[in-house]
């Protein structure tokens, strides 16, 4: 069974400083991993995805994440925070169970990112 | 191109009533999935439909049902509403059945049960 743990429920940074949102996962198979962002009263937007290619994945808006199998981690980073980055971020896992998949994404509990001027 | 569209955007129902939520996927997408997001939590998987058949189901009671139409749009039905069904219901679509490539989500339907 797959699961996701986001290690921080809230992260607060100043504008222009680095962002680090931490995520650990558990999976019985080779997982695909994603980060989604949700702005208030909005749907979910895909930031980036890892699907067994390069371990360092670049996404939209300057975000990137590194897949570390030995640490079962997929942390999200950005060198310099912008006010518009304030939102809730979800780490998500999908399992490819022997070539079959029934389309389930498993979400973490979310990390709320606050950016101060 | 239109994204994933959901209707209505907001809904208020009384306990015991029934509700139908609607979703239109991106043109060409054959997979539609439904997720429930309770306030303060991550979305939880309810159903996946692909090529008009149910392909996956999450841990939800039989009060929840869904279907997919020939044009790949979908409806989610919830019977005998409980206060705990109050949530944001998200629809997601993709071209393929596998979730490994990610989904495109709609903006959701906010259901309030009073």
CA dihedral A30, A31, A32, A35 (to 10 degrees): -150
Per-residue pLDDT tens listing for chain B (114 residues)? 579 999 999 999 999 999 999 999 999 999 999 999 999 899 999 989 988 988 888 899 999 999 999 999 999 999 999 999 999 999 999 987 777 777 899 999 999 999
**What is the distance in angstroms between the Cα of B50 and the nearest Cα belonging to chain A?**
9
- Read off the pLDDT band of A115 (50, 70, 90): very high
DSSP A33: E
Cα dist. B41→A52, A104, A112 in Å?
28, 17, 11
In the predicted structure, residue A27 carries a pLDDT above the cut 90: no
Chain A residue at shortest CA distance from B94? A103
pLDDT of res. A104: 84
Mutate one of A49, A101, A104, A109 to test the B interface: name it (highest B CB count within 10 A).
A104
- Digit-coded pLDDT (tens) for A9-22: 999 999 999 999 99
- Read off the pLDDT band of A100 (50, 70, 90): very low
Inter-chain touch A110–B106, beta carbons under 8 Å: no
Cα dist. B114→B12, B14, B81, B109 in Å?
7, 5, 9, 16
- Digit-coded pLDDT (tens) for A32-91: 899 999 998 788 999 999 987 788 999 999 999 999 989 999 999 999 999 999 999 999
DSSP track, A52-113: SS-SEEE-GGG-EEEEETTTTEEEEEESS--GGG-EEEEEEEEE-BTTB-----EE---EEE
């Amino acid at each position: 069974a797959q699961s996701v743990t986001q290690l921080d429920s809230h992260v607060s940074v100043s504008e222009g400083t680095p962002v680090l949102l931490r995520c650990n996962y558990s999976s019985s198979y080779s997982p695909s991993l994603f980060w989604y962002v949700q702005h208030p009263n909005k749907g979910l937007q895909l930031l980036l995805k890892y699907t067994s290619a390069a371990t360092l994945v670049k996404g939209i808006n300057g975000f990137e994440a590194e897949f570390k199998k030995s640490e079962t981690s997929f942390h999200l980073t950005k060198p310099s925070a912008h006010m518009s980055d304030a939102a809730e971020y979800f780490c998500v896992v999908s399992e490819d169970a022997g070539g079959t998949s029934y389309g389930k994404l498993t979400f973490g509990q979310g990390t709320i990112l606050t950016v101060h001027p | 191109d239109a994204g994933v569209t959901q209707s209505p955007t907001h809904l208020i129902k009384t306990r015991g009533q029934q509700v139908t939520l609607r979703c239109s996927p991106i043109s060409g997408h054959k997979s539609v999935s439904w997720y429930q997001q309770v306030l303060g939590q991550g979305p939880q998987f309810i159903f996946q439909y692909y090529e008009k058949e149910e392909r996956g189901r999450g841990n939800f009671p039989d009060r929840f049902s869904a279907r997919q139409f020939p044009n790949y749009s979908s409806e989610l039905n919830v019977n005998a509403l409980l206060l705990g069904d109050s949530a944001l219901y998200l629809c997601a679509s993709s071209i393929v059945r596998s979730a490994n490539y990610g989904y495109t989500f709609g903006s959701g339907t906010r259901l309030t049960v009073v």
